[in-house]
């Protein structure tokens, strides 16, 4: 399940680059909740770069699986924002659309959070299997 961790890391790195390039991006639905918690586009981009780096380090050092948790937290926040937008029928910037339209649009980030959790569990299970076989 390492591909989901690479996916999330690449997503967060690209989001960070885009945030630095355009200060209006943190209003995007998956980033809105994070922007409320971490004000300022440079700080938010730095947070995204940091969690991506920690996760990439964590998949190469299974005993340090906890390095994946900050990125998982970011994904869960983004997924909650996407679900909230779909239920309310409005994106974070106030634009209204049909509920299923928003749900379809936000589905990649909504699905990323539980699959990332499975990735962590598989990483832990693989580490446990290696540890017990010694």
- What is the domain range of residue 54? 2-127
Coil, helix or strand at residue 22: coil
133 domain residue, yes or no: no
134 domain residue, yes or no: no
48-97: pLDDT as tens digits: 999 999 999 998 887 888 999 999 999 999 999 999 999 999 999 999 99
Using alpha carbons, select from 43, 50, 97, 92 the residue that is nearest to residue 69: 50
H, E, C per residue of 54-87: HHHHHHHCHHHHHHHHHHHHHHHHHHHHHHHHHH
14-46: pLDDT as tens digits: 999 999 998 777 788 999 889 888 988 899 999
1 touches 119 (CB < 8 A): yes
What pLDDT was estimated at residue 27? Answer: 81
17 domain residue, yes or no: yes
92 DSSP assignment: T
40 DSSP assignment: S
54 domain residue, yes or no: yes
84-120: pLDDT as tens digits: 999 999 999 999 999 999 999 999 999 999 999 999 9
Q: How many domains does one find in the chain? A: 1
47 domain residue, yes or no: yes
Coil, helix or strand at residue 64: helix
132 domain residue, yes or no: no
| pLDDT band of 2, cuts 50, 70, 90 | confident
38 domain residue, yes or no: yes
Residues in the chain: 134
Gyration radius from the chain CA atoms: 16
33 domain residue, yes or no: yes
What pLDDT was estimated at residue 13? Answer: 97
Q: Tell me the C-alpha to C-alpha distance, in Å, between residue 50 and each of 31, 44, 67, 74, 93.
A: 15, 10, 10, 11, 26
| pLDDT band of 124, cuts 50, 70, 90 | confident
């Amino acid at each position: 399940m390492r591909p989901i961790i690479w996916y999330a890391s690449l997503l967060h790195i690209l989001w960070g680059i885009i945030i630095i390039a355009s200060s209006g991006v943190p209003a995007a639905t998956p980033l809105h909740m994070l922007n409320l918690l971490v004000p300022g586009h440079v700080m938010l981009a730095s947070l995204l770069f940091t969690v991506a780096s920690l996760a990439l380090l964590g998949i190469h050092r299974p005993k340090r699986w906890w390095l994946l948790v900050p990125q998982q937290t970011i994904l869960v926040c983004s997924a909650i924002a996407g679900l909230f937008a779909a239920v309310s029928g409005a994106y974070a910037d106030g634009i209204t659309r049909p509920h299923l339209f928003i749900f379809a649009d936000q589905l990649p980030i909504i699905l990323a959070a539980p699959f990332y959790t499975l990735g962590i569990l598989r990483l832990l299970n693989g580490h446990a299997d290696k540890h017990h076989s010694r």
